[in-house]
Amino acid sequence: MTSEKFKEIQENDSKRREKLFYIYKKCLFRKTYSNLNVNLLKPTNPLSLKDVNLTRKEMAALDIHPVTLSVLCGTVIGDSTLNIYKGYANARLTARHSTRQTEWVMWKAFCAFEKYTTQNCLTFQKPDGKQRETIPKPGLGKWAFRTAVDPELTKLHKIIAPNNKKKVQRFWLNHMNDYFLMTLWLDDGGLCSDRQGTISVNSMPIDQAQCLRDYIETVWGVKCHVVDVASKRTKTNPVSPQIYFSDLDNLEKFLRIVAPIIPVKSMLYKVCLKPKDSSRLQRWTSELKTLIRQEWHSEIDAIYAQPLSVLMDEQELKD
């Protein structure tokens, strides 16, 4: 057998493995979550913009489902990218998620972004960063996700990431629905014991973080502010902008928007607020169950049965 023939067989075997892996994961996920048609989802637009005519704008002209568009934009403005790579005419989305968030990335791949996914859209990578410092566990690592290149993604790229540089601007934020906030929170938000709630936007310039903060407060009515936090994780970006909610009332208001549309059970920990006040904790636990699917109530009970320190540690590891 020639070396060329052997290489061809290896490449074919690799492609078959990728295809089988893709089919297996997709079937397994669909078995758990049967209702994955993005066209059946009903996003909510902010009432504050109901009288604003946005139909003639660039974003309105995109042939992308409103849920998909909001999830795309929410994904991109975090640590993901929407770029046109060398040798390609069109853009593609690339992202990474912890394997602890497997259901979340699967929902993106097989529901929100299904129109743009291919059989080699998911690749497993070994732990790095914080994950590498934790106690090794089977299957712990990262999912590297990428879409196919697509002309519609290129049109979006020109709006939110011109010249491969992400740019948060109010004119396109006004086209976002509640799935944008949900994605922003599940990707980059977190509950913490001292501040209770924060959205990490460390990859943004401070003025763009302020633009996002203004949008959240003005359009959705949730009061928040931008804080520069010293970053221990990178020398190239020593200051890391973060959005803090002004108080618990505003954090709860934000969680009321995102909790009802969280699509997978494993991400419910993101809305399990644990105030120190026991009466407020009891009230929020009861309210939260009215916001999510009834069949997920037992998951809420299981999360709240954990001590606060364990819950916060688990969230940090998952993120």
Q: Are residues 208 and 314 in the same domain?
A: yes
Mean pLDDT of 12-39: 65
Q: Are residues 241 and 310 in the same domain?
A: yes
Banded pLDDT at 33 (limits 50, 70, 90): confident
Q: Are residues 152 and 253 in the same domain?
A: no
Q: Are residues 201 and 306 in the same domain?
A: yes
pLDDT at 108: 93
pLDDT tens readout for residues 71-89: 999 999 988 999 999 999 9
In a domain, 45, yes or no: no
Question: Taking a C-beta distance cutoff of 8 angstroms, is the pair 177, 44 a contact?
Answer: yes
Sheet with 122-125, side-by-side order of all strands: 81-83, 92-98, 142-146, 122-125
Residue 205 has pLDDT above 60, yes or no: yes
Residue 14 has pLDDT above 50, yes or no: yes
Radius of gyration of the chain (CA): 20
First to last CA, the chain: 48
Which of 51-55, 90-94, 170-174, 242-246 has the lowest average pLDDT? 51-55
Question: Taking a C-beta distance cutoff of 8 angstroms, is the pair 263, 251 a contact?
Answer: no
d(CA 48, CA 277): 32
In terms of Cβ atoms closer than 10 Å to its own Cβ (0-12, 13-18, 19+), residue 284 is buried
d(CA 1, CA 278): 72
In a domain, 191, yes or no: yes
In a domain, 279, yes or no: yes
Q: Are residues 80 and 187 in the same domain?
A: no
Mean pLDDT of 7-22: 53
Residue 172 has pLDDT above 70, yes or no: yes
Banded pLDDT at 10 (limits 50, 70, 90): very low
Q: Are residues 28 and 128 in the same domain?
A: yes
Q: Are residues 106 and 125 in the same domain?
A: yes
Q: What's the number of domains the chain is made of?
A: 2
Q: For position 89, which CATH number holds? A: 3.10.28
Q: For position 296, which CATH number holds? A: 3.10.28.10
Banded pLDDT at 288 (limits 50, 70, 90): very high
Q: Are residues 157 and 246 in the same domain?
A: no
Using a pLDDT cut of 90, give the percent of the chain over it: 61
Q: Are residues 226 and 99 in the same domain?
A: no
In a domain, 8, yes or no: no
Domain boundary among 114, 139, 167: 167
Domain boundary among 120, 139, 167: 167
Q: Are residues 309 and 195 in the same domain?
A: yes
CB within 8 A of 188, min separation 6: which ones?
A: 78, 79, 199, 200, 201
Q: Are strands 239-245 and 224-230 parallel, antiparallel or unpaired?
A: antiparallel
Q: Are residues 157 and 189 in the same domain?
A: no
pLDDT at 173: 97
Mean pLDDT of 307-311: 61
In a domain, 277, yes or no: yes
pLDDT tens readout for residues 224-260: 999 988 766 555 556 689 999 999 999 999 999 999 9
Q: Which two three-digit tokens encode residue 27?
A: 């079937």
In a domain, 256, yes or no: yes
Mean pLDDT of 118-137: 67
pLDDT at 6: 37
In a domain, 49, yes or no: no
Residue 276 has pLDDT above 80, yes or no: yes
Residues spanned by the domain of 79: 14-39+63-167
d(CA 298, CA 294): 9
Banded pLDDT at 119 (limits 50, 70, 90): confident
Q: Are residues 246 and 207 in the same domain?
A: yes
Domain boundary among 140, 167, 194: 167
Task: Name the pTM for this structure.
Answer: 0.86
Task: Select from 58, 75, 54 the least CA-distant residue to 158.
Answer: 58
Sole residue written with tokens 């407020």: 280
In a domain, 92, yes or no: yes
Residue 4 one-letter amino acid? E
